[in-house]
Amino acid sequence: MSPIPNGVNGVSVSEPQAHGPKSQKKHSQVVIIGSGPAGHTAAIYLARANLQPVLYEGMLANGFAPGGQLTTTTDVENFPGFPDGVRGPEMMDKFRAQSERFGTEIITETIARVDFSQRPFKYWTEGEEEDADFMTADTIIIATGASAKRLFLPGEETYWQSGISACAVCDGAVPIFRNKPLAVIGGGDSAAEEATYLTKYASHVYVLVRRDELRASKIMAKRLVAHPKVTVLWNTVATECKGDGELLTGLTLQDTKTKETRDLQVNGLFYAIGHEPATSLVKGQLDLDEDGYIRTVPGTAQTSIKGVFAAGDVQDKKYRQAITSAGSGCMAALEAERLISEEEAEDESIPAEKVHVPAEGYLGTDKE
């Protein structure tokens, strides 16, 4: 592979030199891996641009049902267009229906293997992983998402999404948390950020820190500790989640030094101990950052391999919202479309009338 000179901000974009065979089994111009807001938004744009995208929605890939993380939540209240809120699974059904309406081929399988060393790119589905089983795509969009790290404490499964969350911005404003004592687990920047955010709604926020210091940046740690609605409980871990059978009502805490235990009455528990991007599929082939997220050229969806794009939480450790995922899915689609049409225009074996021409300045908004 040779580096393309336009790599910026640490992402050097390479173009595979070798040209490989097209699969006899299945070849597509664009394949999308992942079925959350990013994958489906990309599919909607590409299908409307007549590129017949193929979207692999996964079979419990990365622990999520097709539709992604939002299938595990109750109400989504911050996605524009739903003034009364919408159930997460219902919203993802609507995304899927919209992808299908414009002709996306949705396949309920998990991609188990990819090979980006030559174009067209090769990929394999779970259970069909012999070399000869390969399928090919001219461009690939990785939208495999991420998952919040959890501790799986006793009682956690019962109260997950009934008092326990991993996203203060998503869930902090819901009525069960308003004017109630809440707890945040974590000692880094995101814990400080989530706890400070929750002070808008909570009567008080307890931050449970395993050690006797915060890993958060000095300024954030200082702001957190000084906040009148925040108490940092040092050397403290939660060992059990308790409730009334429906909602969380408290935690059992343990002092990591003395091993003493005690109860803390809280109506909410927020995990802020990090996320795991679903990048094992592309590790070693795409440039990843120190936390395993796919690096993209800033302001684009372009990964370190030309023709491979990334969208959604798998490349975003900052915002991790449905709307930002959808936005980056749109970017990936428009970039894939542009690349396909540029390459078709360069390929003299394709008759001019067959070259896919995106409208000048196409933004996917044109109506038929």
Ligand X SMILES: Cc1cc2nc3c(=O)[nH]c(=O)nc-3n(C[C@H](O)[C@H](O)[C@H](O)COP(=O)(O)OP(=O)(O)OC[C@H]3O[C@@H](n4cnc5c(N)ncnc54)[C@H](O)[C@@H]3O)c2cc1C
Least Å distance, CB 241 to ligand X, is 15
Maximal C-alpha separation, the chain? 77
Q: Is the Cβ of residue 171 or residue 221 nearer to ligand X in the bound state?
A: 171
Dihedral over Cα of 327, 332, 333, 334: its sign: positive
**Token output for 222:** 């200082």
Least Å distance, CB 164 to ligand X, is 9
Least Å distance, CB 298 to ligand X, is 18
Buried b (16+ CB within 10 A) or exposed e, 139-154: bbbbbbbbbbeeeebe
CA 101, CA 365: separation in Å to the nearest integer? 16
Q: Is the Cβ of residue 79 or residue 362 nearer to ligand X in the bound state?
A: 79
167 assigned to active site = yes
Residues in touch with ligand X (CB under 6 A) = 33-39, 56-58, 61-62, 64, 66-70, 72-73, 76, 78-79, 110-111, 143-146, 148, 161, 166-167, 170, 278, 281, 312-314, 320-323, 325
Q: Is the Cβ of residue 54 or residue 148 nearer to ligand X in the bound state?
A: 148
Phi, psi (rounded to 5 degrees) for 253: -110, 155
Q: Is the Cβ of residue 110 or residue 236 nearer to ligand X in the bound state?
A: 110
Which one from 138, 170, 241, 316 is the annotated catalytic residue?
A: 170
Least Å distance, CB 235 to ligand X, is 29
**Which residue is at the shortest CB distance from ligand X?**
145
Q: Is the Cβ of residue 111 or residue 224 nearer to ligand X in the bound state?
A: 111
Chain-centroid distance of CA 148 in Å reads: 10
**CB burial of residue 359 (10 Å; 0-12, 13-18, 19+):** exposed
171 assigned to active site = yes
* DSSP letter for each residue of 94-125: HHHHHHHHTT-EEE---EEEEE-SEESEEEEE
Which one from 75, 93, 133, 167 is the annotated catalytic residue?
A: 167
DSSP 8-class letter at 45: H
Least Å distance, CB 236 to ligand X, is 24
Residues with a catalytic annotation lie at: 167, 170-171
